[in-house]
Amino acid sequence: MKFAVVVFPGSNCDMDCYHALRDVVQAPVECVWFREALPPDVTAAVIPGGFSYGDYLRCGALAKHAPVMKSVRELAAKGNPVIGICNGFQILTETGMLPGALLKNTCLHFLCHDVDLKTERKDTIFSANLKDVVRFPIAHGEGNYYIDADGLKRIEDNNQVLFRYCSPEGVVNDGYNPNGSLNNIAGVLNEQGNVLGMMPHPERAAEMTLGCDDGKALFESILGALV
């Protein structure tokens, strides 16, 4: 069992994810440069946040073509966990591994603050250990989740929404939607449930030294599912 953190030019949460995995939940982990393929012993992949290729052209649009993504798709096709966080989520929607797209925040600027998230399901490889409401930071300019009406119905009917923005008590409404996401969607799964994309950053909420460790449980859940 081993994690890979995929690194593109311009990734900047790569070392944060690496630290959370290696030092906080003590999982075997290595960074994999975009030109390489995932090593054969990797069983889970993290596509970290940041600004791959400077967000030039469109967030995630260039990373989609990076050589490493071929092996990420193959890993996902085998049913192994793949998680894209923030820019990683944008990359996974660009590749089509996840449904929908991330538009500009409705306020039209970058937002960095804590949000509360309702965990919609506990029966996934990402969420078994999570609390009903978790607090993670967001830090993005393009996190406004969009999908066409049919697609929205499909992912809702399939229970593919894992996280929604909510109040500290778990109430989901417009007042707690930071960026205009449809149905307050903060994180979605693929149909098979082994690929997750989310805008909030669990790796930034993994240690009490930084004020909150709700995110640790997410990495521990994956670890638990793999062992």
Segment contacting another protein by CB under 8 A, of 37-45, 124-132, 150-158, 209-217: 209-217
Task: Please spell the DSSP secondary structure of the chain, one letter per residue.
Answer: --EEEEE-TTB-SHHHHHHIIIIIS---EEEEETTSPPPTT--EEEE--B-GGGG-SSTTTTGGGSTHHHHHHHHHHTT--EEEETHHHHHHHHHTSSSSEEE--TTSS-EEEEEEEEE--SSSTTTTT--SEEEEEEEES--EEE--HHHHHHHHHTT-EEEEEE-TT---SGGG-SS--GGGEEEEE-TTS-EEEESS-GGGGSBGGGTB-TTHHHHHHHHHHH-
Would you call 59 a catalytic residue per the annotation? no
Report the residue number, 52 or 124, with the smaller CB distance to another protein: 52
Indicate which residue of 86, 140, 142, 220 is catalytic. 86
4, 5, 13, 29: residue in contact with another protein (rule CB under 8 A)? 13
**10 near another protein (CB under 8 A):** yes
Would you call 86 a catalytic residue per the annotation? yes
Q: Closest distance between another protein and the C-beta of residue 18, in Å?
A: 10
> How far is Cα 66 from Cα 64, in angstroms, rounded to an integer?
6
**15 near another protein (CB under 8 A):** yes
Give the pair of three-digit tokens for residue 125.
Answer: 């490889």
Segment contacting another protein by CB under 8 A, of 115-123, 145-153, 191-199, 206-214: 206-214
6, 45, 50, 161: residue in contact with another protein (rule CB under 8 A)? 50
**143 near another protein (CB under 8 A):** no
109, 123, 157, 175: residue in contact with another protein (rule CB under 8 A)? 109
116, 142, 203, 220: residue in contact with another protein (rule CB under 8 A)? 203
Report the residue number, 26 or 159, with the smaller CB distance to another protein: 26
> How far is Cα 65 from Cα 211, in angstroms, rounded to an integer?
37
**197 near another protein (CB under 8 A):** no
Indicate which residue of 94, 142, 203, 220 is catalytic. 203
Q: Closest distance between another protein and the C-beta of residue 171, in Å?
A: 18
Convert 137-154 to b/e letters by CB count within 10 Å (16 or more is b).
Answer: bbbbbbbbbebeeeebee
**CB of 117 closer than 8 Å to CB of 200:** yes
**78 near another protein (CB under 8 A):** no
**Residues forming the active site:** 86, 201, 203
Judged by the rule CB under 8 A, the positions of this chain that interact with another protein are 9-10, 12-13, 15-16, 19-20, 33, 49-51, 53-56, 109-113, 137, 139, 141, 201, 203-204, 206-207, 209-211
